[in-house]
Amino acid sequence: MATIFERYGGFATIRKIVSDFYDKVLDSPSLEQYFVGVDMPRLVDHQAKFISTITGGPANVSNEEIRRAHARLSISSEHFGEVAELLEETLEDHGMQPEDIAYVMAEVGARKAFVVTGG
């Protein structure tokens, strides 16, 4: 049985989804503060590897890497939730099936403790 990663076209498709996702994130006045001075192409590549990891692709991003990447950002639970909503919306925009979206969102939610570091 094909993985979610394979069913949706592999890394090229995942990267496009992630790129579109960050377009939405950067349009959010409450989230833009986290991305000032960030090398966005590099971040898109890292996030595409993470999404590839949780969808069964060949990448491997550990929870420790996620924790280290977010430790200094003081991300709130509210902002995490907003980002998650934007990701879910982007997955829907790209025609991902509801059960696959639910799986991805559950995997993202399972890593909340590694991302939320602020109030």
- Mean pLDDT taken over the chain: 95
Name the domain count of the chain.
1
Contacts of 69 (CB under 8 A, 6+ apart): 46
8-state DSSP, 100: H
What token pair was written down for 49? 């590897």
Residue 95: which domain range?
4-115
User: What is the pLDDT at residue 12?
Assistant: 95
* Top-confidence residue, 78 or 118: 78
Average pLDDT over residues 68-86: 95
What pLDDT, in 10s, does the model give residues 79-102?
A: 999 999 999 999 999 999 999 999
What's 110's domain CATH number? 1.10.490.10
Rounded Cα distance between 56 and 77, Å, is: 27
How far separated are the first and last CA of the chain, in Å rounded? 42
Two tokens at 11?
A: 């890394």
Alpha-carbon torsion (63, 69, 73, 75), positive or negative: negative
Model pLDDT for residues 27-53, shown as the tens digit of each residue = 999 998 899 999 999 999 999 999 999
pLDDT of 119 reads: 65
pTM score, whole prediction = 0.94
